[in-house]
Amino acid sequence: MTEQTPTGAGVDGRDAGASYAAAGVDIEAGDRAVELYAPLAKKATRPEVQGGLGGFAGLFALKGDYREPLLASSTDGVGTKIAIAQAMDKHDTVGLDLVAMVVDDLVVCGAEPLFLQDYIAVGKVVPERMAQIVSGIAEGCVKAGCALLGGETAEHPGLMGADDYDISATGVGVVEADAVLGPDRVRPGDVVIAMGSSGLHSNGYSLARHVLLEIDRMSLAGQVEEFGRTLGEELLEPTRIYAKDCLALVAETDVRTFSHITGGGLANNLARVLPAGLVAEIDRGTWNPAPVFKMIAQRGRVERVEMEKTFNMGVGMVAIVAPEDAERALAVLTARHIECWTLGTVKKAKESGAERVSLVGEHPRF
């Protein structure tokens, strides 16, 4: 057993000088955290990674027969979903959310995710908790096919509570200049295909928490019949990572572009990848949102327009494909065990300045 000297007192009873540890930063705990998650990070690698952990910068050799490679980058976080993880003291899934939010933005332009670097800010370093967080990030990188090239853990005593933390990451991918996907490729008659979400993903949690935990006073530990599990388990369901599925679709079909459905909902995100003069007509009747969306809408009396601009409503990623490849695209995604369906079609706008996305019809049983 190690004898502890009270903070602020020297061994002879006189006041000791200030120290980093006394200010709340535990460097030894940080070192222990690195020891725990270093083996996890090593599993999330690629052949192009040079050197090992511990350097001031991660090194990645851009190999391959690229003609005119473009590097793509994206930065994101997980948002207030972390509050659910903290309340449940379950930290091994938010890393998956983090990776998904970054790499699925990269793949929208057709970029293959190469590597990711994370940033974790904590009130107090608890090595075992840090290892749980990083285990999710490493697992997400493996699912996305990218390397976890490095990261940073920062202890912020006084700024954050001892059990508080936040995470973010930046990812880098590569795409050939003549293969960049985007609005310029979209044509009238193209087909809009949905890839189902795994739930709320990582958006809208401020509203979801307000409705379910504050207004309705539900318990995270309470079993919910509609979900077949507890509320907490439903809310912590990891964001689906579509990167490899999207790249497989690009390899086998004529994909015009993708749209990652995050904050802002289906209409706002889909509009970002449509050129002026075209409109995507989306039929709500083609899918039924998961029970969690219905519960939030009903118990919070949230209007449809608010739901649709806050949540993904069951659509996590959208692909716009050439009409002759629509059936093939559905077959490719189905073979990869991705729930998918035809959402609608792209048409010429009837008038200038019209909304680029038109949602029509009603969801079945919603």
Geometric angle at alpha carbon 45, from 137 and 127, rounded to 5°: 40
* 180 closest CA partner among 111, 113, 114, 258: 111
What sign does the CA torsion over 157, 160, 164, 169 have? Answer: negative
- One fold for both 25-48+69-176 and 183-360? no
Q: Residue 333 has what pLDDT? A: 98
State the pLDDT at residue 7: 32
How is the chain split into domains, by residue range? 25-48+69-176, 183-360
Three-state DSSP at 217 gives coil
Q: What's the confidence (pLDDT) of residue 168? A: 97
Specify the pLDDT at position 64. Answer: 82
Rounded Cα distance, 23 and 157, in Å = 7
pLDDT at residue 54, rounded to an integer: 66
CA–CA separation, 273 and 206 (whole Å)? 27
Regions of the chain with pLDDT less than 50: 1-14
Q: For the domain made up of 25-48+69-176, give the CATH fold.
A: 60s Ribosomal Protein L30; Chain: A; (3.30.1330)
Q: Mark out the alpha helices in 145-204 (DSSP H runs).
A: none
Q: Write out pLDDT tens, residues 206-262.
A: 999 999 999 999 999 999 999 999 999 999 999 999 999 999 999 999 999 999 999
Interacting residues of 325 by C-beta distance below 8 A, sequence separation 6+ = 253, 254, 255
3-state secondary structure of 242: coil
Residue 199: which of 134, 123, 296 has the closest Cα?
296
The whole-number pLDDT of residue 142 equals 96
- Identify each DSSP E strand in 322-356 by its residue range: 340-348
Output the pLDDT for position 56.
78
Fold (topology level) of 183-360: Phosphoribosyl-aminoimidazole Synthetase; Chain A, domain 2 (3.90.650)
